[in-house]
Structure 1
Amino acid sequence: MFTPPTLRGTDFARLTTVLVTVGALMVAAATATADPRLGPLPAPNPALGPVGTASQHGDSAASDATPLAGPGGRHGNNTVTATFKPLGGNCTNLLIGADGMPQAMCSKTGTLAPVVHLLDPATGDSLASLELPRGGMFSGVYGYLDNADRVVAIDGERNLVRVAHDRRDGAWRLFIAESTPIGPAVDAHCGAPGCDTVVAPMADYSGKVWFATQRGTVGLVDTGSGRAHSVALGSGEVVTNSISTSPDGLAVATTHALYLVRAGADGTPTIAWRKDYDRGPGRKPGQLSWGTGSTPTFFGPGTGSEYVAIVDNAAPKENLLVFHAGTGEQVCSIPVVDGTENSPIGVGDTVFVASTYGYPYPPQATPGPSVPPQADFVGGIVRVDVKRNGTCQQRWTADVRSAAVPKISLEDGHLYTVSRVPGQGGAPDRFDYTVINGQNGKVESTQTLGAGPQFNTLQLPGNIGPNGVLYQGTVAGYLRIAATGR
């Protein structure tokens, strides 16, 4: 029988920090695969669930790094068994709580209504589901687990909700444990009730909740008191990606600039600094908007979050931009890929950037024409090291058509992703589980998952659980990828 652990909140975060540190030392001594440059992780957010599995990008810093080994690490020999689990929609968020229970956030096919699923950790089957009111385009796309393993999301009625789960009389259920209306703060800077929609929430280190809206408002909510304050970013700027937090504050990228926002003494958000970036001539093929495709990434070799990075939209090559999180001073800039819709992966003094240029997104997801009108998807992943002298140096490039946001494991030193292989003679494209050596960029393992639309990972991020299982979202559900025999 599965018995969930009882650790929560700050106690779990502190224990996780100790375990990660001890684990990193053991791995460094035991294997040549792990890279000593990969670390430390950002400080655990005490308002968030487990490190590496509590948000779409692993943590509140959006590092896309995990202290856990993947299916090809200590849990197996790179031979995996993959099972597709249909959930009736596009599953953008696969999260695992401290109790070991995976949860999926999906958008229903057709209606796009957000649905939360509680998953069986042994089989991956849905044990219970809860549909939330549909809102704007980003409703149900972004959310996270708090320190009580509750899904935190913004529903279509502009309530910040916490979705809890329990088991009664042998049956699992999901239910709204807390709901805080935030509509007035959302609409405070656009002129009329209902004039804006929330893109993403994320936990502040104080326990309050940040949010960003599509029309460029940033807010901070105290769900205990119900108070919410907000501030407007630049006029005409749009937010189309998620947000990140560190002890320094909130990082958010609009279609024009990168911002660092902090909370004032009364809880009102204050813009600490703003940095314009080159947004190029227009939306590129393989991108969803005109501007950066990045959720900002906090990382660094000292505290784990002294830097913050995005990729701009310059042409012909986009640049990785690294800034000091505290001051906004630019650390370095380096050309990396033709285009990307993905957040950079950042840990220690290393950043990985995966190209999505030319990725065949569905037409309904890409508003307006692109510049150029079309391009082939050729992929590519670039590793960049940030040197102590304030320069960026490209270390390697991997010829991989990554069709998902890769995850880097600090325990085994591998990047885990799904690659897209063009079909031949009219056959549908194939999707392969792919393991890349983080030190040298060599592909160490590939295994076919399947062909056809249900296997399309649509540049979605996956998360690796403590049992070495990779949960990877697709357009119709998710893939449960585990070392064979587990």
Structure 2
Amino acid sequence: MHGLTRSVLGAAFAVLLAAGPAAAESFGPAAPPNPWLGPAGTATMHGDAEASDTTPLPGPGTGPVDASFHPIGGACPTILVGSDGLPVALCTLLTTRIPTAFLLDPAGGAPLASLPTRTGGGTVLGGVYAFLDNRDRLVTVDGAGNLEWIGHDRGPDGAWRLYIDHTAPTASIVPAGDAVSSATPDRTGAIWLATEHGTVAVLRADGGIAAVSLGGDPAARQIGDGELVENSIAAAAGGVAVATDHALYLLNTDAAGTPSIRWRQAYDRGPARKPGQLSAGTGATPTFFGPRTGSEYVAITDNAVPQEHLLVYSTATGEPICSVAVLPPGPSGTENSPIGIGDTVIVAGTYGYPYPAGAVGPSDPASAPFTGGMTRVDVDDSGAGCTVRWNNTVPSAAVPRLSTADGRIYTFTRHTSGAAATPLDGYDYAVIDAATGALETEQPVGVGLPVDTLEMVGSIAPGGVQYQGTVTGYFSVRPRG
């Protein structure tokens, strides 16, 4: 009854809204494309170097869709699409915990080739935040700490293959017991790296590497000295933003190519990890955005109790622009990066989302109902404050992606049959009007643990195709007909 009812409602919405808004809202400029990355919108987990979680491509829309599920026996938090139109997924196999790259067929979404990283050590959620470079190579880090460039082509037999094109060691800057968790290029082509325990490094084009420790002794570089970095880093023209479990940092390089801290802003990190988060402190990758250059502001969320806040800062100075309570009143939190474009930021709540047992440690409280919800906040024209534009209660079960082409937010939703989440919960493809926050359509795509989207990121590819990772594989969603 539950799925049938939503299916009928979704079809009704599709008929009423198939034509879409009269015109997509103009959100202001995105930052200029990073020349060292693949296509904007599909080159990084959060779309681009600025982690805007936007795409210039239209999504599948509000009409009927076909959602094909591709089980591969692993969680797929990263699905990127190169300039050649070929999607590349980085998934962690459940049996071996080895992160494995998959090349996908854009025609139907099935795997064309696969390649495990040379050593394991991955977590169920995938290990490192990877990216596609300007040669459509997947850049990631293996379990031994080597930065790997994984290319793809057709082999001598004509079949597609994945291969390691280049490697670079990072062991010289990673303390024993630590691991690289994020990598992204800046606009000079240098690659910035962050480790889980607060080391930030720059790998220069000449192969040189230098590092700085956040919140610890850079000379000793012992585990426990540094602050924890549990999310991705973001790079813009004004610098590289790194959020730790204590503060937001903006870094640049000095004349010698060594990373240096330009400014630091501490935030309310809360007393503990909340249910529906993977770590204590902010759950957000920093997001650059702005109405003039596309990156004059940078935003994260805090971990305040009981109410979460969006924090917006000036990229140039670190001065606060605003602190705004977001998400439904009462206990709230998020593990997702905000969407940021023009003068707009959109935050999706994950409070209470049931992550797999063993994926994370204890939370306070130990559990809570999944509340979801989204809030849109607009920075005032003066740049001296912010205003909440809308709130909704959509239970987004994935990191949402905003299409600036059609003015819609694309995500998946999770629906519980009672007060608590169960392994039999249903999942829907969902589209939200970014101008109003209204849910335009929900269409059921599956039920149960294998299709749990687990607050992973979706990517929108050319042709209005959306890819979304799950615990055991991924969806490809296409307009029907």
Q: Which amino acid aligns with 1:379?
A: G
Q: Which residue of 1 aligns with 2:196?
A: 214
Shift of 1:372: 2.0
CA distance in 1, matches of 2:349, 2:22: 28
Query: Where do 5+ consecutive residues of structure 2 fail to align?
Result: 1-19, 217-225
Q: Which residue of 1 aligns with 2:273?
A: 283
CA distance in 1, matches of 2:23, 2:380: 21
* Deviations 1:73-119, CA, capped at 9 Å, x for gaps: xxxx5210000011220001010000010000001103221100000
Q: 1:112 to 1:427 in 2, by over 3 A?
A: closer
Shift of 1:478: 0.4
Greater shift, 304-313 or 385-394, is seen at 385-394
CA distance in 2, matches of 1:333, 1:154: 35
Shift of 1:40: 1.0
Question: Which residue, out of 393, 400, 416, partners 1:422?
Answer: 416
Q: Which amino acid aligns with 1:407?
A: R
Query: Where do 5+ consecutive residues of structure 1 fail to align?
Result: 1-29, 188-193
CA distance in 2, matches of 1:83, 1:283: 35
Shift of 1:182: 1.1
Q: 1:248 to 1:411 in 2, by over 3 A?
A: same
CA distance in 2, matches of 1:468, 1:318: 33
TM-score, structure 1 as length reference: 0.89
TM-score, structure 2 as length reference: 0.90
Superposed, 1:148-227 pairs within 5 Å as: 148-168=135-155, 169-187=157-175, 194-222=176-204, 224-227=205-208
Q: Which amino acid aligns with 1:61?
A: E
Superposed, 1:56-205 pairs within 5 Å as: 56-72=45-61, 77-132=62-117, 133-135=119-121, 137=123, 140-168=127-155, 169-187=157-175, 194-205=176-187
Q: Which amino acid aligns with 1:451?
A: V
- Runs (4 or more) in structure 1 with deviation over 2 Å come to 30-33, 135-141, 423-427
* Deviations 1:312-350, CA, capped at 9 Å, x for gaps: 000110110000111101111101131001111100000
Superposed, 1:329-478 pairs within 5 Å as: 329-337=319-327, 338-367=332-361, 369-389=362-382, 390-423=384-417, 428-478=424-474
Shift of 1:140: 4.0
Q: Secondary structure at the match of 1:482?
A: strand
Shift of 1:364: 1.1
Query: How many matched pairs?
Result: 443
Shift of 1:141: 3.8
CA contact (8 A) 1:139 1:156 kept: no
CA distance in 2, matches of 1:200, 1:135: 15
Q: Which residue of 1 aligns with 2:37?
A: 48
Question: Which residue, out of 242, 254, 278, partners 2:244?
Answer: 254
CA contact (8 A) 2:230 2:245 kept: yes
Q: 1:276 to 1:80 in 2, by over 3 A?
A: same
CA distance in 1, matches of 2:86, 2:295: 28
CA contact (8 A) 2:90 2:126 kept: no
Q: 1:282 to 1:419 in 2, by over 3 A?
A: same
Q: Which residue of 1 aligns with 2:25?
A: 35
CA distance in 2, matches of 1:335, 1:459: 21
CA contact (8 A) 2:147 2:168 kept: yes
CA distance in 2, matches of 1:314, 1:427: 30
* Deviations 1:1-56, CA, capped at 9 Å, x for gaps: xxxxxxxxxxxxxxxxxxxxxxxxxxxxx9634112x1211121110000100011
CA contact (8 A) 2:76 2:126 kept: no
Q: Secondary structure at the match of 2:444?
A: strand
CA contact (8 A) 2:99 2:122 kept: no
CA distance in 2, matches of 1:258, 1:186: 21
Question: Which residue, out of 475, 482, 485, partners 2:478?
Answer: 482
CA distance in 1, matches of 2:81, 2:162: 15
